[in-house]
Amino acid sequence: MLDRGQHQGASLLHDAPSTELRLAAVASVPSALGLETLWQICAHLQRLGYPVVVLDGSTPETDAAPGLEQLLSQEPWDEAPGPDWHSGTSSLAVLPAALGLRRLAAQAEAGVPAPLATLHPHFRAYALAVLHAPAEWLAPLLPAHGTLPLVMAAPGTTGTQQTYLQIKHLALHAGLPCLVAAIARGRESTQARRARAQIATLQRCAEEHLGLAPLSLVVDAENPQDLQRLALQLLENAGTIADATVLPLYPGATAAPAHFVRSH
């Protein structure tokens, strides 16, 4: 249970150096409920004091809706963000990122060291960047940053098989364990019972075939405490992107979010 007076992530709120950007990762979410849960846990983190930007690898950049690909081609912004940019916690910054993340993953596979480091100058206004992308893209990108990804299982036999393949790919190609979550509505619903059975199956298969015992949990999408617990676990598993840029001329200067970041 979470302590309502002093939540379990309180110690995490101030321990990140200002020169580092926290990096979390979520393997592509295959279900509408899982995607809704992703937005909710990011909103929970914002309410805990972490401005969040999601780099959405499920959405390609276009001329009409530019995103990470265009951002990587421009110089970081030098002006500080406006005073009201992070005052609200209801809106979530989401950046189309399919082309940009695919390019960064290809660079990592080609031997470029820590290509995600190029993100830091662009997102210094945020405390946490969340990569939402296929496991195949996350595998070459994450090991350099110590990030352990979240995999959310879609319901049914097909969902179980797809989740296992994601766990297997991250283990074999990146040497990464992951957090596995099955999402349900209601703690004692039929959906919740099936989710618990699904988690048991995934744990058994991972142990038998991969020698892994991934941390797994069932999350009630209607329970705020469950959502906060998952949000804090995502934060605990986040790695860091260090600032490799030259310090700004004026102390305290930070980069503002790109003007084409959209809110969810």
Burial of 114 (0-12, 13-18, 19+ CB in 10 A): middle
Q: For 39-95, what is each residue's pLDDT tens digit?
A: 999 999 999 999 999 999 999 999 999 999 999 988 765 443 433 333 344 589 999
Distance CA 21, CA 129 (A): 7
CATH class, 18-81+90-263 region: alpha beta
Mean pLDDT confidence for 248-252: 34
User: What sign does the CA torsion over 235, 142, 60, 34 have?
Assistant: negative
Domain ranges of the chain: 18-81+90-263
List the single range of 86-90, 149-153, 252-256 with lowest mean pLDDT.
Answer: 252-256
CB atoms within 10 A of CB 31: 15
What is the pTM (predicted TM-score) of this model?
A: 0.82
Using one digit for the tens of pLDDT, what is the confidence trace for 174-199? 999 999 999 999 888 899 999 999 99
